[in-house]
A and B are shown apart, each in its own frame.
Chain A
Amino acid sequence: MSISSAKSGGTGISLALDNNFMEPIASTLVGSGGVGVIEFLDIPQTYKHLQIRSNVRSSTANANFTFQVNGDGGTNYSNHNLYGTGSAVSAGSGTSETAGYCGWIAQTGSTANAFGGGVIDILDYTNINKNKTIRSLCGSDLNGSGLIIMNSVCWMSTVPITSLTFKVSLGSGGFAQYSRMSLYGIKG
């Protein structure tokens, strides 16, 4: 299929986006006092992919930005990651984990007003024949410390994704006021 006729000069991604193939599903802005988790429930099954965009900060001394799918707290997650600390590059992996790992975010005690950004893509999330793959780019720079990370998570289930629960350090932390997360659906 040729795409050149639809928008001259457009790249594949901008072509799709210019044609409103991406739609907002839900968004949350954390209020005073913070929250323990950020949840997206009853996710429509009418899109091909999902994207979550975030600007978040931990309200505790924990900085690991994690998630669970469909409330699954079993050891059904694995991940591979590549990250830079500002002085070294490292790669890590994990198997049989109880949550997916997105990245590292600013936390209590970090530079004031600094948050961590993230773009998380969940591909073919309604498919009943595939385990689900989630990829993310997340990072926080704190003018003297920080981390940038690319992550791939496998949720070993063929069940369609209907809910996402984001946590800090598997629920031992929370999200600070002014944290924002937004969920979008991408048509296929």
Chain B
Amino acid sequence: MAAKTGTYTLIASNTLSAITTDITFSSIPATYTDLVIVVNYKAYGGSKYLSMRLNGDTGTNYSRTELRGDGTSATSQRLSNEAYAYLTSIYAPTGDLGTFIINLNDYSNTTTYKTILTRGNNAGTAGVGANVNLWRSTAAINTILLTALGSGYDVGSTFKLYGIEAAK
């Protein structure tokens, strides 16, 4: 992980040179206030959603409330007790880039469950969406897994993790 150098600091960056299923940010410093992940990806092998696990937790401790527009209709859905945090139903089909900005506010506190706010966009096919996810754990977040769930992220996809440090 890069050393902390400013208020909004790039902690880690990954630009894929090969098809990859899982992106892991580990040993995340607890010294920031919020985390932001900026993702620009295209799927390999079909329409794959962007999903997250925190601190290696494989339990059914994730849930979501989702808002989505696909160019024809707007929908909202909720799913509870999931094994992943699904970060929107916006996907990026093969060769069709999607952009996602993921916010994990107050990620290192040890008293509250963690809320994840995501905006997802894919102009080509999938549409636009916003998600709120809950991870029912008070643990400080130190590892983030972004997974394509059985398919892959294509070459050229980018994943950037930023830390934001509030005033002391």
Contacts and interface: CB of A to CB of B under 8 A. Distances in A.
Contact of A142 (B10, B116, B134, B162): B134
A24 B160 CA distance: 21
22 contacts: A11-B40, A22-B8, A27-B168, A53-B34, A82-B67, A83-B67, A83-B76, A84-B68, A86-B65, A113-B112, A115-B115, A118-B105, A119-B105, A137-B117, A137-B130, A138-B117, A141-B63, A141-B134, A143-B134, A147-B65, A178-B109, A178-B111
Given A86-B76, A139-B132, A118 B117 contact: yes
Interface string A114-157: 11111100000000000000000111111111111010000000
Interface of B: 5-10, 15, 33-34, 38, 40, 63-68, 74-78, 80-81, 103, 105-106, 109, 111-113, 115-117, 119, 130-134, 136, 138, 158, 160, 162, 164-168
Contacts of B81: 143
A180 interface: yes
Given A113-B112, A117-B105, A87 B78 contact: yes
Interface of B is mostly: strand
Given A17-B10, A150-B130, 14 more contacts: A14-B38, A17-B8, A55-B106, A84-B65, A117-B115, A117-B117, A119-B103, A137-B117, A138-B117, A144-B63, A146-B63, A148-B76, A182-B33, A182-B167
The 10 closest A-B pairs by CB, nearest first: A84-B76, A139-B132, A86-B78, A84-B67, A27-B166, A182-B166, A24-B167, A146-B65, A55-B106, A117-B115
